[in-house]
Structures are given as structure tokens and as C-alpha cells.
Structure 1
């Protein structure tokens, strides 16, 4: 009993669609967790970074960039110690709050090392070193500098070469950018402290610097060792930039330096200290950002976070991200199930995709990185699988309906009923229409005698063999079998699609006559086969008439029939049954004058003259179609008196 109830429950279309959409959404979640969507998510993140409103250049920063022009002027590949010492002296005269020297100086470079080391002793100067995981790639700081005045300048790079994260602590060391931020904020009374929420986490001013995990945002394969945060770029230009030559020539105003953070670094192409950023795809010339400017971006971010002006970028927990992705797939699936038409669904689906993307973009502008591609894929897959399931279900229902309709009507009529099913649902009927068509009635002569000599099973097999053969001939000539009446057949040529030109009406009339001739030929073949099985030969009569009829559905919602009503129907039926004693050949084909006028003398006809038909007040001019073996199916028209 329970198994039967479960089977009935699982057979419900809504449950099937729900299980299908849930399985698809689960597959999307697995793909997302495996990092398959990570490259697309990172591209989407970059696009949103470029599209969001940018900040004005940070007036707390001044970047002194060493350009190729500067190096050619100095005739060196890198500034000498003497040049850097002079640079620091000029800057100190303008009283900056902090100076960051983004040049390795563990070894002397030209003359002036002692002068440089003396300048580096100033408490507002921060120098760099490298803490690479490989010992051979580590670079020590300038000799004699205290730990609080040195910071590592290692930069975190994603697998696609783009900088989206920044490393602020690693191996118990502090980054170059963070040391400069500490130095700057100290004057404002903002000191580093431990977060009261969790030990070992930095709290600086109004922000807590939570480290990102390997699954932050869209990351699934990122190396997030150390203490890393997402780099919240200020804009493509982080601050005012001057050249080394301008500074050495005393062309930089003092107020550009006073109370600022001054970064000195290489911006010359030959330095190869450049990195791809989210802005790179939109740049026509300079596709990369110099390392010293990347450090400037980090410094600006830390200062804004400490003051509460600009939030750090955070992300959902892994579980919340999964729920976020699944919700969009479920919403899309529900909408797809409730909407019945493709075009409105497509419009709503586009709205769902646009909404999920817009919310992701708005969230990023507020400092929250949520996946964008995964919800889109989930929505497309969730809604798409429901649409595909409904289409498959509708196709199956279509086949079933066509099969059921075809049991009572021809495939053409069944197709018309199905194509107009919405009208049927609303009114229960197909609207009647007036058309010009050609009717064909056929009946067997002496069927009663044959049926008396056969058992019921044999009779049904014999009759079905005959009806199947004749139906094939009717369909071959584009006719519609409207109904079977025992051994009688009523076929129509010219429905359900209304004919609009005389040429189309003539084609239907000629198809009907050609069909009758083929039926005669098939009857002869059947008689030969039946004779071998001990059945005697049978004869057939056919009546054909062309005229105006009304077609449409008859009956009620419980039982519908495709009806054909009109005088031409009665005339064709009477032609088949008139003058029964006149049977010149096994298959007698009689047509009305209304049909003969459309034949264009393409058939051999025998005029029978005016004949009175049962139930009709006026006589009808009748012709017999000559369809014996000596006359081809489509001969040149002849008239037989």
C-alpha cells in the first residue's frame, strides 16, 4: 500500500519537475564548490569593479614614480643610493607624515650608501624586503633598520595573473602598505589593537580586518595563506603622481608632500614591476598597474576602512552562498512551472537574471562580494530544466491526444483539433467555417452476405484489412477520413484547411477522383488475395460530389466529432447508393457535374445523364469514371456517350 502511494506521489508532474530542478541546482552547487565557475566569477567581479562608481584620487598619497626618462637622465638602470638619499632629504624638508621606499637596498647601488642609510633612520620612513616562500628569492631589508620601519612588498596574484587580494601579515611580518598606514594613523591617535571578537585579529579604528578564506566570494582554489584581505580598489588612479626628475628639480609644491604618505617606486617599463588588475581589460595602452601603485591602493583602502569612509570587501559564508545560489534556481523553476507560454516566461527569466546580477553589483558597491555567475547559471538551469520537462510532457500529451483523436478522426482533423485546443478549452467547440470541398462516399456491394459466412473475429480482421487499405489510398491523395460506417467510408478532400482559389478546389476534386481510381485498383488486388484464401470477389460503389459545406465540431465537451454538413454531403452519399443494379465494373465511381467541371478533361468519363436521387427534388447530372484496366489512371480526357 505504501509502495503504491509512493509510486502515485512520484508520478505527479509537479513533484517530478521539482525533483528534476533540485537535482540540477544541486549539480550547479557542486560545480561551484569544485571551482568550475571560478574563472567566470572572477571575470564578473572584475567587470563590476570597473562599472561601480570610482573614488576620487586619494589626496593623502603622493607617488614619486621613477620613469624611463628619469633613468636615462641619470644614466642608470636603477637609482643610486646617493640619488635616493637626496630624494628623501628633499621630501623630509616638506614634512611628510610617512615615506615609503619601494626599492630593494640590501646591497649598495653606486655611491652614497652611508647617506642613504642615514636618511632611512628617520622614524617616518618605511623600506621593503621580500619574504618569498623560496629561500633563494628572499631579499633582506636595508641594513640597520628597525623592524617597525620595514615591511614586505610581496603581492598576492590570482592564477589568472590578476591582483584582487592583498597580503597584510605573513610569517609574523607586516606588509609595506600596513606599516605605512600604521605610521600615518599614529599621528591621528589610531592604534592597532586586537579585536574583542576574536584573538589574533587586527582591529584598526572603526574596522576589523578579518582574513579571507580559500572560499571567499567566488574563490575556490586561491592560496589565502597568511592574513589576506580583498583589495578594494579606489579607482584606476589612486593618487597624485610626479616623476623623480620633477622632485629633484624642486618642481613639486610642498603642500603636495606635507602631512602626506609619499611612495617612491619604479614605474619604468624596464623594471617589470607591473601587475594586471580588474581595470586591465578596459585599458587601451597601459594594461598593467605598477607595484608601487598597487601598494598605494592597499594603503588607501586601510586608511578609509580605519576611518569608516569605505568598507573592506567581505563575503558570505560558504553555506549562505549556497543558499543564495539555490534560491535563484528555485525562483526560476517556480516561475517556469507557473507560466504557460514561452515568450512571457523568457521576459520574466531575463528579469530574474538581471535582478540577480543587479543585486550582486549593488552588494559589491556596499562592500559585499556575492557570486553572480553561479546564480545566473542556477536560474537558467533551474528554469530551463522545468521548461524542457514541460515541453517533453506536453509532447507526450500531444502524442497521446493525437492518438486518441485519431481513433475517431483522421490525423489531419486530429492535428487541427490539437492546434486549436485553446479554443476548445475556452468554448468547447471549434468555430464553424464554410468551405468548398469534395466529398467521397464508398460502400461494399453484398457485404451482408459476406458477413453471414464469417465468424465475428474473422469478419473484423477481414473488414479492418479492407478499411486499412482504402484509408491508405485516401491519405495518399490528401484526403481526410471523416468516419467509418460499417463497411462504408466517408472521406473529405479540402479540409480542415479552407481552400481559397479555384485551382485549390480543382486540385481537391482531382485528388478525390484519383483516390477513387486507386481504391478500385486496390480492390482488385484484394480480390485476388482473398480469392487465394477462399473468399469470393466483392464489388464497391463510390459517389463523389463537390460543393459548399460547413465544417466544425459537433457534440459537447464529453464527446466531440468533426462534422461536415451540407447538400454536397447528401449528394455524394446518394450517388454512391443510386442505380445499384448498374454495376459495369467491380468498382463503380459516380461523380456529380459539380465535380466534373473541375477535372479539366483529365479523366475518362461516361455520361449517365440526369438522375433523380433519393431525398433530392432536382435531378443531378451524373458521370461515371472509367477506371478499368484498359484505361490509364490519368488519361487525356475522353467522352463516352
Structure 2
């Protein structure tokens, strides 16, 4: 089981290394983000969105003159900082000089695009100092969603701050919070008490992501509007509450779907229309997260190291394998598997609520793989054991006995054998009277057919009464009641004895029917003797590796055989059933018997107190002698 758990963990870890699990982990991440619920609007921010109506009024994007007027109007209400999420590297006349003058204000931050090549780079407006410029590039996950925030990036011209980080730092400067290196690692950015630990390629459910630059996991504040919204036209027409601007971070950007500045987010999963979020709103999410972390109101996401993730996966592999090994009932196993999967998800979600992202799909897969492997192994083992058990038994059993044996196979099987086991059982020996004389009158082929008809009926009676036929002795057989599953209570032992007697009576009835059929066919009739004894025996495998059989050994077996063969000339009826007092005491007055007194049995020093079974209690008493109720 330990090896199975290790193998399952190694296999899933290998798949994880090949990025085969990442997409599922990201789906789980998105679902947890959606389940977590939304936080209140961030009242430190305001978004001035350029919507479809603004586009109709101002053409595709507002000209420089309109944008300069917007900045001028906003500045009248003393915003802490204004972020312009619109590229203005070239004039869109009229009003270019006016716009440049408005952008010179110290509290204005504009954007540039780093791009991955020189051709893709979009420079900022001219003459602005570097501390008023931030890049608006967004890291995109393999499935097209934005889940990460790039704080610092670089290109051929050097290292740059992100648009969101520039806005946040200007706001935090007024709060007395300045960026510094962490005491634990000077290369890590620290704002307030929060250390911004950069993402590793394998953080959380990621694997080998491009973690270049300085990235953190973007903790979305809410799905809908993160902050109050007003439109560009609202600003131009002074139709807004000035308190929405005062002392806030104001972000200006496009929200119209026709401008296609839209991105998939964790909230897009499961949306029929593939709901997207405007770029300016994503930058607002980033600003809000930085402010919350710096001011201590919302922690940053944390992750486990790789070794702890591997241990986490292995723990669930062990749990699934252990359950599959010890739980035998399919329903319980199924419910247990579901419970473990819920446990993996529940713990992962609980950690997520505390801003930790740990793998969920990978441990769930190790759990399922380990459980499935153990189940398949046990199924194969069960098939082998079943074959072994049937080989060891080598006789017919009733369905109930077979089922009980199979349910107890682990206890019964040891080292490829059924171990010796002491128990109380009831033995039934049967034999055809004067079989040798009958055999002389029939050709061997006809004798075999005749004998098989007889034995088929006798075996049927044994199986019907939940016994097993241990062996055939030519024209006779040994049936045992109470094996291979031990009987542990007096009631169970008594039930076996009663079943053996009922079986003997049924054998007599079947023989009577056979005789009638044989008479019609001109074949010889038969009479039989039965000996029954209840006592201790040892059961288990007999033989060697090449040949094994299920053996029943003990003096009780010999006594049953001697009861069958004693006083052969005394044969009332076609089926004589003799029992000893050891069996009689378990019958509980359910049968009519007659006492034959103390009888000397061959090979036995002590006399046996012998009784003949006449029939069920309340039946006709047609035998001579004293009946014992």
C-alpha cells in the first residue's frame, strides 16, 4: 500500500511537471474565487469609464482637448492621484498642448506598453518624468485569463513600474508608507507590514508559468464593479458627486465592449457569454490589492513549497489506498471516496479563504489513482483467491456457504493454504447398502450412470441444507455442516446439527423418488445408511503444492463413519439414519428418534449412545422400539 501511494504520487507529480494538471487546478481556483463572494466597493477608487455613449459622442476615443478638459475638471476636486489608462504617445488634435500641460501635474500617471519586442512597445507621452509612467501590460495565463499582477517589468530600456503600482505608491506616500526591501530578503518589495513575495513558476496550481519580472497572484476584490463608476460624459457635464473624486485614485479608461479592451478573469468560468472585465477595472483590482496589503486590511496570497505539496499529495494517496484496502463493501467504499474528495476540496477551500492557494486537483488525482489501483489489485487478488478457494475446496457448496466463505477469505487464506482451524461441526456419512451386490449385476458404464444419478440427488440435498460435500467415497459421501466459517454460539451449532438431520431425511425422500423412477426403467433399487455426529474437528488444507484438498480431521469424523456402518443388518426403511447422543442434544425435540441403546462402534473403546431418527417431530412413528421425544 505504501508503494502504491508513492507510485500514485510520483505519477501525478510527473503529470504535473508536464503541465497536464494545471488547467484543472486553474478551474478549481476560479471556482473558489467565485464561491468566496464579493467584498464591498473600494471607496478609495473611482473609475471614469469611456462607455458606448461616450464613443458615439466623442468618436472612437476622446480627442486631446476633451481629455484635457476631463483632467482639468477632476483636478478641481482634489483627487489623490489620476491614472490615465489611455495611450497618448501621439497627438489626437485638437488640444495636444493643453493635454500635455494637464498631464504634467505631479499626481497624474500615464501608461506605456513594454511589449515583447521593440515593434510592440508603445512609448508614453513625451516630456513626462519616469515616476509618472507605468506599464499596463497584463500577464495572461495559458487559458487566456488574467490571474496575475505584474508589478515590475523590464525591456531593452531597463526596469519599469506597473501602472497599478505607480498609482498605489503615490496614494500610499500620503499615508506615510514607502517601498522598502524586506528584512528577510532585500530583493523582496515590502509595503507596510506586507512582503510581496514574487510568484515562483510552480506556485499553487501553476506549473512552469512565465514568472518573469515581479509577479504576484491577483486577488480580485469582487466580480462586478470594484469601485464607483461614472462616465466620461458625466465628468464633462459635471453630473457627479465631487466626493467621489476628492482624495481618491481616479482611473480613466475604456469600458465599452466595442473597443475590445476586455479580458477573461476567474469570474469568466461558467458564464454563458464568457463574461470579461475591462482593462481599467483589472488595473483597479491590482491597485486595490496593493493598498489593502500595505494597509493591512487584506493579506497577499501565500503558497506551499514544492516538498510540502508533494507530501500533501502523498497523504491523500495513503488515505485513499488505506480505505480501499480495508473497506470491502462497495457502497461504503464509494461513500468513503466521496467523503475524502470532499475533504480535499474542503481543506483546499478553507485554506483559500485564508489567502492560501494549495493544489486540490493533484491530491484528488493521487487519491483516486491510489484508490483505483488498490481496488484493481484487490479485484485481481480476489479472483486469484476465489480460484484458489475453489481448488482447495474441490466440492459443491451451498450459495450461502460459498458467500460466507468468500467474505472470510482473508482470514481463511494464509500462505496459499487454508490454515488449520478447530471448530465444532456436524458430519454426515452416507453409503448405499449392499452396493457391491448391485455392482455385480450392472455393466460398469451403466453402473456409473446409475451412481451419478444417485449422487446428484444426494449432493442437491446437501446444498439445499447449507452443507458442503467434502468427499465422495465410491458410492458414499461425507457432508459437513458448520464449515468453513466457524460457528461460535450454541444456537449456531444446534442449527447445523438440525440441518444435517433434515438433510438426511431429504436424502431418504429423494432416494424413494429415484427408486420409483428406476423401477419404471427396469433398474435396481437401493437402500442407504446415514451416520451423523456432532463434535470438534480440525479443518484446513491437506496436501502439497501440486495437489490440495479441503480436509476435515478428527475423531468426530470417524465416529460419524462408524455410526453409518454399525449394525448393518438392522435396516428399517430405505434410509436408516443413526445419530449419537452428542447430536441428539442439539436437536431440541424437533425430531422423533428411537433409542438403540449403547452400541459398540468399530475401533472405539467406549460405547456410543445411539439413536435412530424416524422423522420430524409430530410425524408417524412406524419403527419398533422406544421413542425418545
Q: Same fold (TM over 0.5)?
A: yes
Residue 601 of structure 1 aligns with which residue? none
Residue 227 of structure 1 aligns with which residue? 214
**Take 1:220 and 1:471, find their aligned partners in 2: how far apart are those partners?**
73
Q: Does 1:25 align with 2:9?
A: yes
Q: Does 1:287 align with 2:287?
A: no
Residue 77 of structure 1 aligns with which residue? 60
Would the alpha carbon gap of residues 508 and 183 (structure 1) be closer, same or farther in structure 2, given more than 3 Å must change?
Answer: farther
In the TM superposition, residue 519 of structure 1 has moved relative to its aligned partner by: 9.8
Would the alpha carbon gap of residues 553 and 241 (structure 1) be closer, same or farther in structure 2, given more than 3 Å must change?
Answer: farther
Would the alpha carbon gap of residues 558 and 311 (structure 1) be closer, same or farther in structure 2, given more than 3 Å must change?
Answer: same
Q: Does 1:274 align with 2:262?
A: yes
Residue 119 of structure 1 aligns with which residue? 102
Report the 3-state secondary structure (helix = DSSP H, G, I; strand = E; otherwise coil) of the residue aligned with 1:402: helix
**Take 1:372 and 1:552, find their aligned partners in 2: how far apart are those partners?**
63
**Take 2:384 and 2:516, find their aligned partners in 1: how far apart are those partners?**
38
**Take 2:168 and 2:16, find their aligned partners in 1: how far apart are those partners?**
36
Whether the aligned pair in 2 keeps the contact of 1:445 and 1:540 (CA below 8 Å) is no
Would the alpha carbon gap of residues 475 and 277 (structure 1) be closer, same or farther in structure 2, given more than 3 Å must change?
Answer: farther
Would the alpha carbon gap of residues 520 and 234 (structure 1) be closer, same or farther in structure 2, given more than 3 Å must change?
Answer: farther
Q: Does 1:61 align with 2:26?
A: no
Residue 307 of structure 1 aligns with which residue? 295
Would the alpha carbon gap of residues 515 and 145 (structure 1) be closer, same or farther in structure 2, given more than 3 Å must change?
Answer: farther
Would the alpha carbon gap of residues 223 and 516 (structure 1) be closer, same or farther in structure 2, given more than 3 Å must change?
Answer: farther
Count of aligned positions: 528
**Take 1:62 and 1:522, find their aligned partners in 2: how far apart are those partners?**
107
**Take 1:125 and 1:578, find their aligned partners in 2: how far apart are those partners?**
123
Residue 23 of structure 2 aligns with which residue? 39
**Take 2:534 and 2:320, find their aligned partners in 1: how far apart are those partners?**
39
The counterpart of 1:334, out of the listed 308, 318, 322, is 322
Whether the aligned pair in 2 keeps the contact of 1:195 and 1:202 (CA below 8 Å) is yes
Residue 88 of structure 1 aligns with which residue? 71
TM-score w.r.t. structure 2 length?
0.71
In the TM superposition, residue 382 of structure 1 has moved relative to its aligned partner by: 2.4
**Take 2:133 and 2:55, find their aligned partners in 1: how far apart are those partners?**
25
Would the alpha carbon gap of residues 413 and 441 (structure 1) be closer, same or farther in structure 2, given more than 3 Å must change?
Answer: farther
Would the alpha carbon gap of residues 395 and 287 (structure 1) be closer, same or farther in structure 2, given more than 3 Å must change?
Answer: same
Instruction: Summarize deviations over 1:499-538 as a string: whole Å, max 9, x none.
Output: xxxxxxxx999987897899999999xxxxxxxxxxxxxx
Residue 350 of structure 1 aligns with which residue? 338
Residue 379 of structure 1 aligns with which residue? 367
Q: Does 1:250 align with 2:238?
A: yes
Whether the aligned pair in 1 keeps the contact of 2:425 and 2:535 (CA below 8 Å) is no
In the TM superposition, residue 385 of structure 1 has moved relative to its aligned partner by: 2.7
Whether the aligned pair in 2 keeps the contact of 1:98 and 1:184 (CA below 8 Å) is yes
Would the alpha carbon gap of residues 25 and 616 (structure 1) be closer, same or farther in structure 2, given more than 3 Å must change?
Answer: closer
In the TM superposition, residue 135 of structure 1 has moved relative to its aligned partner by: 2.4
The counterpart of 2:378, out of the listed 352, 369, 390, is 390
TM-score w.r.t. structure 1 length?
0.70
In the TM superposition, residue 36 of structure 1 has moved relative to its aligned partner by: 1.3
Q: Does 1:446 align with 2:433?
A: no
In the TM superposition, residue 288 of structure 1 has moved relative to its aligned partner by: 0.5
Whether the aligned pair in 2 keeps the contact of 1:100 and 1:126 (CA below 8 Å) is yes
| Equivalence map 1:401-550=2 (5 Å) | 401-407=389-395, 410=397, 414-415=401-402, 417-418=404-405, 421=408, 442=432, 445-446=435-436, 480=463, 482=469, 484=471, 486-490=473-477, 541=526
**Take 1:484 and 1:286, find their aligned partners in 2: how far apart are those partners?**
73
Instruction: Summarize deviations over 1:409-458 as a string: whole Å, max 9, x none.
Output: 54657525526759x99x987999xxxxxx996567327999xxxxxxxx
Report the 3-state secondary structure (helix = DSSP H, G, I; strand = E; otherwise coil) of the residue aligned with 1:177: helix
In the TM superposition, residue 226 of structure 1 has moved relative to its aligned partner by: 1.4
Residue 492 of structure 2 aligns with which residue? none
**Take 1:519 and 1:24, find their aligned partners in 2: how far apart are those partners?**
65
| Most deviating of 305-314 and 510-519 | 510-519
CA-based RMSD: 4.8
| Equivalence map 1:5-20=2 (5 Å) | 17-20=1-4
Q: Does 1:184 align with 2:171?
A: yes
Q: Does 1:209 align with 2:199?
A: no
**Take 1:471 and 1:92, find their aligned partners in 2: how far apart are those partners?**
111
Would the alpha carbon gap of residues 363 and 520 (structure 1) be closer, same or farther in structure 2, given more than 3 Å must change?
Answer: farther
**Take 2:521 and 2:365, find their aligned partners in 1: how far apart are those partners?**
59
Report the 3-state secondary structure (helix = DSSP H, G, I; strand = E; otherwise coil) of the residue aligned with 1:314: coil
Q: Does 1:145 align with 2:128?
A: yes
Would the alpha carbon gap of residues 289 and 483 (structure 1) be closer, same or farther in structure 2, given more than 3 Å must change?
Answer: closer
Unaligned runs of 5+ in 2: 413-420, 484-494, 497-505, 541-550, 554-559, 577-610, 615-620, 624-629
